Structure 1
Amino acid sequence: MRSIGEMARDSGLGVSALRFYDRAGVLVPHRVDPDSGYRWYAPGQLDEARLLARLRRAGMPLADVRLVLAGWAGAETDLVRRLLDAHLRRLERGLSGARAEFSTLRALLDDRENPMTSPRTTAPVRLSVPAPGLAAALDAVRYAAGADPELPMLGGILFDVEGDALRLVATDRYRMAVARTAVDGHGGPRVQVTVPLALADAMRALLDGEAEVRLTVDGDRVTLETGGTGERQAAGQVLGHDFPDYRRLVRLPAGRRAPVDVPAFREAVRTGPVRAGEVRAQDGVPCDLSVLEVTADGSVALAGDGADDREVVAVNRAFLLDALAAGAGDRLVLEFGAPTAPLVIRRPDDEHTFSLLMPVRLEN
């Protein structure tokens, strides 16, 4: 007999997914302890669970999954083949439709010729930036930068200069971090460049003092200089890709805010309950989820398996720990919107520096 945890480990289905399929009557445990409610699975059910995991990864509807499992158990190979072939045809039709829509979208993009970032400036832009402010901004956003070679525009940090402010933004689609610091010397139009991560890291290594540093954007090249004569500098090419319009992504309705004591909350997240073995809906990557809820007294708690999923927000635990560390303080504010809205992590003394974590859909 396998416990539910062992079945999750061996089958590739999460614990919460196994509970969901039990309630749905798709994969019912061999025995349920009448006192503890703990589920136990017979040895022969492992093959069924692995088959179920494959079918769900292929996107087969639950109604068809039931029939495939029944046909598989009864050796009704013709029925199983017909169901598999029918689902494959649906997928092929959907892919054909998606290709047609994407072709139309690409044509519309060609017509618009309207990149989200501003054109490269012909005249150099020279700014004075407080070293501590730029260092803090880089530290606040660096963790959220992307590493997907298919999305090179996310493989850097956006430097967005407008008026007397420099905003830094990084995102990998599943999380986003935004920070702001003051600048001096810019009176022209908005300027945006995406600095590669290696160059951003080289810049950060120079920011070890309290004085102002000089930041220059000259066409597709950016340079950071420190010292009175610029004897220390980091310079290089910016990325030649347009960064997403982050301002649209951070326009969120106000949610319920709850303060947290960061050291205590971080330890609770690190050691508290998780939904183990979940699969991230966006890309199918397994991850541990922290399920958060705001209690009646306004504090944030880690929800257990008995929580009402309509009242909680689930996020990638590793991403949450990264965001708490990037917050760089003992007090932060978590802002909860709808269960499908991003979780916002704010500094209580700086509304312009924050992180967004995309929620992960729970299967049960």
Structure 2
Amino acid sequence: MRSIGEMARDGGLSVSALRFYDRAGVLVPAWVDPVSGYRWYEPGQSEEARLLARLRRAGMPLADIRLVLAGWAGTDTDLVRGLLAAHLRRLELGLSEARGEFSTIRAQLDHRENPMTSLRTATARLSVPAPRLAAALDAVRFAAGTDAELPMLGGILFDIEGDELNVVTTDRYRLAVAQARTTGHAGPRTQVVVPLPLGDAMRALLTGDESVQLGVDGDRVTLEAGDRQAAGQCLGHEFPDYRRLVRLPAGRRIHVDTAAFRQALETGPVRTSDTRGQDGEPCDISVLRGTEDGTVIVCDDGDEDPDNVAVNRRFLLHALTAGARDELVLELGAPTAPLAVRRPDDERGFSLLMPVRLDN
């Protein structure tokens, strides 16, 4: 007999995934210890686990996987071949339909006026306190993208309007917004997307308590701190309209002790999702639920409450660090709504984490 840990290593699945597939009746252990509840598998089930992992990577529904495994264990190869062929046809049909829809969308984009052009051709010069700008950059740096196919997300948006500077990053899975008060700008709203290396160079200059000068001239941005300067070209791509992305329905707001909540995440149960994260790999998921007494709990594997919210645990830990407060506010809405992490003393600065779909 093989332990669940050995089966996970041999089959290319996580321990939490094996527990899930047991509960779903897809890959059931040969024996479960009635006292400890520990799962044990027969050696031959390693092949089934590897097959299961491949089918899930190919996106086959669990209902079909059950039939494939049943046919695999028996002699009904025609059933297995038929199920594989049917799923491949679904994938090909879906890809064909997606290509048609994308072609229509691209045509619409080609004929659509770009309302952001005027925002990127303006000039601006303003003063901002170095500590405030440093704090804003620290609060959003973690959410910047690294996808080469989406270069506009590999930068930091500087959105200047009136006496406010909004600093924004997103990698599609998370979004962070921070704000700093400015003086000296009386012109129209101006936006530039600062490449990450230039943003990091700017951050390195923000070591004092004095105000620094931020200048925008078309596609060039400059930060002056005394006799030091960081300057460079902005990214020539449009940043998503983040103001639309943060219009969320109100959720339950719960104050959490940051250190205690971090420990609960780091030591609490996790699940593994087949949903790929930013790096293309399956990610560890923490499932959260707000309780009636105003606390947040990290749910156990067997907790399937429909109001639970699942998020990428690593991303949530990053957001807690970027929050830089002993106490933070979690805003939990529907399971399909983003999770907001807010500062109790600065409601305009926050992070949003996209929820993760749990397999069922």
Q: What is the TM-score of this pair, normalised by structure 1?
A: 0.93
Distance 1:304 1:25 in 2: 19
1:278 equivalenced with 2:273 (yes/no): yes
1:267 aligns to what? Answer: 263
Q: Report if the CA contact (8 A) 1:118-1:192 is conserved.
A: no
The 8 Å contact of residues 16 and 363 in structure 1, kept in 2 or not, is answered as: no
Helix, strand or coil for the counterpart of 1:311?
Answer: coil
SS at match of 2:148: coil
Long gaps (5+) in structure 1: none
- Give the CA deviation at 1:219: 0.8
> Could you tell me whether the CA contact under 8 Å between 2:16 and 2:270 is conserved in 1?
no
Q: TM-score, normalised by structure 2?
A: 0.94
Measure how far apart 1:118 and its partner are.
Answer: 4.5
Match of 2:321 in 1: 325
3-state SS of 1:306 partner: coil
Residue 69 of structure 2 is aligned to residue 69 of structure 1: yes
Q: Residues of 2 paired with 1:156 and 1:233: CA distance?
A: 19
Cα distance in 2, alignment partners of residues 117 and 178 from structure 1: 22
- Structure 1 residue 115: Cα displacement: 4.9
Residues 94-132 of structure 1, C-alpha deviations (whole Å, 9 max, x = no match): 11110010000000111113255644225x311111111
Question: SS state of the match for residue 157, structure 2?
Answer: strand
The count of corresponding residues between Structure 1 and Structure 2 is: 359
Letter in 2 for 1:340: T
Corresponding position of 2:178: 179
Counterpart for residue 253 of structure 2: 257
Distance 2:112 2:208 in 1: 45
2:8 aligned with 1:12: no
Distance 1:72 1:6 in 2: 22
Percent identical pairs in the alignment equals: 74
CA distance in structure 2 between the aligned counterparts of 1:23 and 1:323, rounded to whole angstroms? 32
Structure 1 counterpart SS, 2:21: helix
Q: Deviations over 1:161-206 (max 9, x none)?
A: 1111000000111111100011112222211110000000000000
Q: Give the match for residue 141 of structure 2.
A: 142
Secondary structure of residue in 2 paired with 1:280: strand
1:101 match: 101
Structure 1 position 309, deviation (Å): 3.8
CA RMSD of aligned residues (A): 1.8
**2:240 is the alignment partner of 1:205:** no
Task: Return closer, same or farther for 1:86/1:363 CA change in 2, 3 Å cut-off.
Answer: closer
Question: Partner of 2:287: helix, strand, or coil?
Answer: strand
C-alpha distance after superposition, 1:284-321 (max 9, x if no partner): 52222222222332112222223234232221121111
Match of 1:315 in 2: 311
Over 3 Å counting, the alpha-carbon distance change for 1:36 and 1:99 in structure 2 is: same
For residues 309-341 of structure 1, what are the alpha-carbon distances to aligned partners after superposition, in whole Å with 9 as ceiling and x for unaligned? 423222112111111111111111111001111
Q: CA deviation at 1:2?
A: 2.5
The Cα of 1:260 is off from its aligned counterpart by: 1.0
Higher relative contact order (CA 8 A, sep 6+): 1
Q: Distance in 2 between matches of 1:50 and 1:101?
A: 35
* SS of 2:306 mapped into structure 1: helix
Distance 1:270 1:20, change over 3 A: closer
1:147-186 matches, cutoff 5 A: 147-186=146-185
- Aligned equivalent of 2:347: 351
Give me the whole-angstrom Cα distance separating, in 2, the residues matched to 1:312 and 1:94: 30
